[in-house]
A and B are shown apart, each in its own frame.
Chain A
Amino acid sequence: MDLNFDFAAEQPKLVQLLIGVVAFFAFIGLMLLLLDRAPMRQRARLHALILLGPALILLGIGLIIPGIRTTLLSFMNGDSSTWVGFENYSWMFTQPEALTVLRNTLIWVLVVPLLVTAIGLVYAVVVDNTRFESLAKSLVFLPMAISFVGAGIIWRFVYAYRPEEADQIGLLNQIVVFFGGTPQQWLLEPPVNTLFLIVVMVWIQAGFATVVLSAAIKGIPSEIVEAARLDGASPIQMFFRVTIPAIRPAVIVVVVTQCIGTLKLFDIVRTMTGGQFDTSVIANEMYNQSFRYGETGKGSALAVFLFVLVIPIVIYQIRNLRQQREAR
């Protein structure tokens, strides 16, 4: 593949881009000008309208209309030609293969936030104020820079299987063989294979948790820590009675973002198993049904269900933020 980017050939597009940008600024300028001429009394309302307008329009086009359309599609058949009522939903909650998908998503949502937060928290506390803290934090944060797809491919090699008599190319099996075991096909046995996929997600996200929680720990007022020390708190008591209550908001942020991220998870499953061997999750199945199988109804039903699952978490998060703001 050649990397030539020929500006002459792309000229029409660049000109269009330029016209678009100029038109945008002209429009904004005009609106502000008009606003300036408006009578004083209405100005506040107009201000709000003009400033909120674009965001509301984009929200409508990008979120609300597609959301409504998806919901409607979920009550229709595969090629969206007739209404089928709740058939797609009953498929989702009765067919064994769909139930497996829901079960896997549940495992992911329960395990990933828990492990990520726990590992991140312990790591942050352990390396806190040690000599090699920044190095240790960099190391655990590095996987964050790898995309999920990239990480999926890396870990596929880690789990790679070769027969006993051949040379192992997978790290995990090489370790197993080194200790005298027989190589295993890690990704083939449900439901354990889902746990092997979860490891990948935890590997990526633990760094995020570490960095956020470590910053929160550093933000704990030193008076509190000193007071606890003077009162003779043991390190364990310090951790559970002082550190955790003090950084509770940060912990919640980590747990919530992990929950949402895990619910939407798609890349790791798709790159590593393609949803085979009973490892599929909602987002992956949604993509398969809608785009690969042409079953838009089932795909939309899964999307709606995913949406319903995310909503409570988002509401909780918003409330939490509000409470914090009020507390300040």
Chain B
Amino acid sequence: MSLLSRPARITAVAAGLALIAAGCGSSETTTPPAAGGSSAAVSAECQPFAEYGSFAGKTVSIYSPIRDTEADLFQEAWAPFAKCTGMKITYEGTGEFEAQIQVRSDAGNPPDIAFFPQPGLLERFAKAGKLKPASAKVKELTDTNWSADWAKYATVDNVFYGAPLGASVKSFVWYSPKMFAEKGWKIPTTWDELMTLSDTIAATGIKPWCAGIESGDATGWPATDWIEDIILRDLGPEEYDNWVAHKLAFNDPKVVAAVDKVGAILKNDKYVNGGYGPVKSISSTAFQEGGVPITEGKCALHRQASFYANFWPEGTVVGENDDVYAFYLPGNDTTKKPVLGAGEFVAAFADRPEVQAVQAYLAGTEFPNARMKLATYVSANKGVDLANAQNPIDKLSMEILQDPATIFRFDGSDLMPAAVGAGTFWKGMTDWINGKDTKSTLDFIDASWPKS
């Protein structure tokens, strides 16, 4: 006896095969090459891309951790470039970038270009001799379009490997302007004011802070951002660099003090976890949902990067006087504005001319502007037109990034060796939220630093 008639079974099998075929291709999609009509040699549309040359029939593959909608927007943004130069850009986004790029590289099947979100990972590949140095043109574009802080993150042993691409600003505290106006709360400009505000909010019966650090096997990273922000503020950028390079021990008393300062918020049952429960609920709350209680009035403050703008429930208006907005996470005094951020770097495993052309194009100003016109996007490229920003947070982020007074530092966990930055630091902070004390947490992380 069969549950399905024969034709129905065949259909089911065919559908299954189609699914398998689609699954094998993961999210690989291609930007179609120039479709025939090349009669008009250089049309007005193609004028900006003429300088990159013509690469008819050539293919450049890109491998990246950026997926889904964002990936589609990327491809939409560079489609004119691909069309005008005649090349085909195949793009593959993956959720397993950190592991898979290693596998593909070891297997002798690396992509032409990879978008590295961690300079530490890029460094590992550069030192292993897998990456090709960036062309003089890419270097020149990077020097004009990005601050020296940014350029140095893709430089390994004085060799420059690739320009930055997107960026995010992490030193933000999200809040509800409407809620603040209603209750008469003011945006704090110093750390002390922030703590006073937290007490004020706690006194009204609302838990002031909400947080979520659950993120699959990356669980813990939002907590590491907290620590980095405070170390950057309290110990200063130089000590921050030392700490990231392990010249300052992970369990140094200064680091312990900074972590305890974060603990005064994240491990304080009076302050957290608004809308979710006790302190421990932080570690089981998905980071995407961490700030959502703000929209329900159950929480007032949520420290998270600019990209959190994408995670608010549908219908939430992001704006200075609307449902949600963000303020700069204040430091000890108002004169200095250190900013913690992150981004991706475009490094190449091949140095064919068409690959270098794509790198140059991505390092220029056309791409970020084209991408910004499509949807929310932040780039630290100084050549971007802020008028293209799609929302106030993007604009605010880019204003901060372009401000010459800003001291920018890259997310430290992305710079550390992966065993720490993507391993024990995340795990340690998760255990710490779960009740482990600061000193033994930091001892554990310090001991795990790879000896070389």
**B277 contacts A163, C-beta separation under 8 Å:** yes
Find A78's partner among B99, B216, B275, B450 (CB 8 Å cutoff).
Answer: B450
**B284 contacts A188, C-beta separation under 8 Å:** yes
In angstroms, Cα B292 to Cα A163, docked, is 14
Question: Contact residue range for chain A?
Answer: 20 to 34
Could you say which residues of chain B place their CB within 8 Å of the CB of A188? 280, 283-284, 434
Could you say which residues of chain B place their CB within 8 Å of the CB of A291? 98-99, 102-103
**A274 contacts B217, C-beta separation under 8 Å:** yes
The reply to whether the CB of A240 lies closer than 8 angstroms to some CB of chain B is: no
Could you say which residues of chain B place their CB within 8 Å of the CB of A277? 283, 430-431, 434
Q: Nearest-CB distance from A66 to chain B (Å)?
A: 13
Could you say which residues of chain A place their CB within 8 Å of the CB of B190? none
In angstroms, Cα B124 to Cα A278, docked, is 28
In angstroms, Cα B123 to Cα A215, docked, is 58
In angstroms, Cα B423 to Cα A275, docked, is 11
The reply to whether the CB of A132 lies closer than 8 angstroms to some CB of chain B is: no
- In this complex, what residue of A is CB-closest to B27? A1
Q: Nearest-CB distance from A247 to chain B (Å)?
A: 30
Find A1's partner among B22, B99, B276, B434 (CB 8 Å cutoff).
Answer: B22
Indicate whether A5 sits within 8 Å of B281 (C-beta atoms), given known contacts A163-B276, A292-B217, A293-B418: no
Find B124's partner among A1, A163, A164, A294 (CB 8 Å cutoff).
Answer: A294
The reply to whether the CB of B168 lies closer than 8 angstroms to some CB of chain A is: no
**B418 contacts A163, C-beta separation under 8 Å:** no
- In this complex, what residue of A is CB-closest to B19? A3
**A288 contacts B423, C-beta separation under 8 Å:** yes
- Which of B216-239 touch A at CB < 8 Å? 216-220
- Which of A262-290 touch B at CB < 8 Å? 270, 274-278, 287-289
In angstroms, Cα B285 to Cα A161, docked, is 9
Indicate whether A293 sits within 8 Å of B422 (C-beta atoms), given known contacts A1-B27, A276-B220: yes
Indicate whether A292 sits within 8 Å of B98 (C-beta atoms), given known contacts A163-B277, A188-B434, A274-B219: yes
Find B418's partner among A270, A287, A292 (CB 8 Å cutoff).
Answer: A292
**A294 contacts B277, C-beta separation under 8 Å:** no
- In this complex, what residue of A is CB-closest to B28? A1
The reply to whether the CB of B419 lies closer than 8 angstroms to some CB of chain A is: yes
- In this complex, what residue of B is CB-closest to A294? B418
Find B419's partner among A187, A276, A294 (CB 8 Å cutoff).
Answer: A294
The interface residues of chain A, by DSSP majority, are classed as: loop
Q: How many residues of B contact A (CB 8 A)?
A: 39
Could you say which residues of chain B place their CB within 8 Å of the CB of A162? 276
Q: Nearest-CB distance from A152 to chain B (Å)?
A: 11
In angstroms, Cα B103 to Cα A287, docked, is 12
Could you say which residues of chain A place their CB within 8 Å of the CB of B418? 292-294
Max chain A C-beta neighbours (<10 A), residue from B277, B417, B444: B277
Could you say which residues of chain B place their CB within 8 Å of the CB of A287? 99
- In this complex, what residue of A is CB-closest to B103? A291
Could you say which residues of chain A place their CB within 8 Å of the CB of B220? 276
The reply to whether the CB of A317 lies closer than 8 angstroms to some CB of chain B is: no
**B419 contacts A185, C-beta separation under 8 Å:** no
Find B102's partner among A187, A275, A278, A294 (CB 8 Å cutoff).
Answer: A294
- In this complex, what residue of A is CB-closest to B17? A5
In angstroms, Cα B19 to Cα A292, docked, is 28
Could you say which residues of chain A place their CB within 8 Å of the CB of B450? 78, 295
**B419 contacts A161, C-beta separation under 8 Å:** no
The reply to whether the CB of A167 lies closer than 8 angstroms to some CB of chain B is: no
**B419 contacts A78, C-beta separation under 8 Å:** yes
The reply to whether the CB of A79 lies closer than 8 angstroms to some CB of chain B is: yes
Chain A positions 66 through 102: 1 when the CB is less than 8 Å from some CB of chain B, otherwise 0 = 0000000000011100000000000000011100000
In angstroms, Cα B286 to Cα A274, docked, is 13
**A161 contacts B99, C-beta separation under 8 Å:** no
Indicate whether A79 sits within 8 Å of B128 (C-beta atoms), given known contacts A163-B277, A276-B427, A293-B422: yes
Chain B positions 208 through 219: 1 when the CB is less than 8 Å from some CB of chain A, otherwise 0 = 000000001111
**B275 contacts A163, C-beta separation under 8 Å:** yes
Indicate whether A164 sits within 8 Å of B102 (C-beta atoms), given known contacts A78-B450, A277-B283: no
Could you say which residues of chain A place their CB within 8 Å of the CB of B218? 274
Q: Nearest-CB distance from B185 to chain A (Å)?
A: 23
Could you say which residues of chain A place their CB within 8 Å of the CB of B422? 292-293
**B284 contacts A187, C-beta separation under 8 Å:** yes
Interface contacts beyond A270-B217, A277-B431, A288-B423: sample of 8 additional A-B pairs, CB < 8 Å, sorted by A: A3-B22, A78-B450, A78-B452, A96-B444, A97-B427, A188-B283, A276-B219, A277-B434
Ordered by A's residue number, 9 sampled pairs between the chains whose C-beta atoms are within 8 Å are: A1-B22, A78-B419, A188-B280, A188-B434, A274-B217, A275-B217, A276-B430, A292-B423, A293-B423
Question: Which residues of A are at the interface with B, using a C-beta cutoff of 8 A?
Answer: 1, 3, 5, 77-79, 95-97, 161-164, 166, 185, 187-188, 270, 274-278, 287-289, 291-295
